[in-house]
């Protein structure tokens, strides 16, 4: 049978300042606003990491840094190049994702974390979330790389619509 993707991951964001989950398949989900009221926005498909890479002597490639998961026919990413799999390690306040792309010319690891200082609520409540992307070139030739982070406007999404745009 098909595996159902996880709906929860490590929450990233300062305490009481709003947050999102970094899921094991590379998705960003469960967005909350700073006041913490209401239901989380489960899915904002326009929020994602992507990478492009091009060797000097060859053609370029691009990927959305999200694992191939069963998607409904006609889903927003059903015709996009995703990564075959993700190796996830969640250890609050850190979530680390290694994007397993054997045919892609570079290795990619993304780490998301919160400003968390045990016993210090003030410094743990900074309205910040950090997502670092580390790219390694294991080849003997140069590769040009570009990384992009797309962030869907949270003001245009209703928690009850699960990612549908408000009109």
- Predicted confidence at residue 14, as pLDDT, reads 86
- Predicted confidence at residue 146, as pLDDT, reads 96
| CA–CA gap between residue 80 and residue 21 (Å, rounded) | 22
- Predicted confidence at residue 98, as pLDDT, reads 97
Long-range contacts of 130-134 (CB under 8 A, 24+ apart): 130/12, 131/12, 131/22, 131/49, 133/49, 133/51, 133/108, 133/109, 134/108, 134/109, 134/110
pTM above 0.85, yes or no: no
Ranges of residues in the chain with a pLDDT under 70 are 1-5, 35-38, 69-79, 158-167
- Predicted confidence at residue 165, as pLDDT, reads 44
- Predicted confidence at residue 58, as pLDDT, reads 73
The tokens for 108 are: 């990619």
Backbone angles phi, psi at 160, to 5 degrees: -75, -20
CA-nearest of 108, 13, 105 to 67 is 108
| CA–CA gap between residue 48 and residue 106 (Å, rounded) | 19
CA-nearest of 52, 61, 25, 26 to 135 is 52
């Amino acid at each position: 049978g098909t595996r159902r993707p996880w709906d929860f991951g490590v929450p990233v964001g300062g305490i009481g300042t709003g947050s999102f989950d970094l899921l094991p398949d590379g998705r960003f989900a469960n967005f909350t606003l700073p006041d913490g009221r209401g239901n989380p926005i489960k899915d904002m498909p326009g929020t994602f990491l992507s990478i492009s890479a091009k060797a000097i002597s060859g053609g370029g490639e691009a990927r959305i840094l999200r694992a191939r998961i069963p998607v409904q026919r006609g889903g927003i990413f059903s015709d996009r190049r995703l990564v075959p799999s993700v190796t996830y390690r969640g250890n609050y306040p850190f979530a680390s994702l290694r994007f397993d792309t054997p045919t892609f010319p570079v290795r990619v690891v993304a780490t998301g974390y919160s400003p968390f200082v045990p016993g210090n609520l003030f410094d743990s409540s900074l309205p910040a979330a950090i997502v670092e992307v580390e790219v390694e070139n294991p080849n003997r030739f140069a590769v040009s790389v570009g990384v992009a982070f797309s962030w869907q406007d949270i003001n245009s999404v209703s928690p009850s619509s699960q990612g549908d745009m408000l009109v």
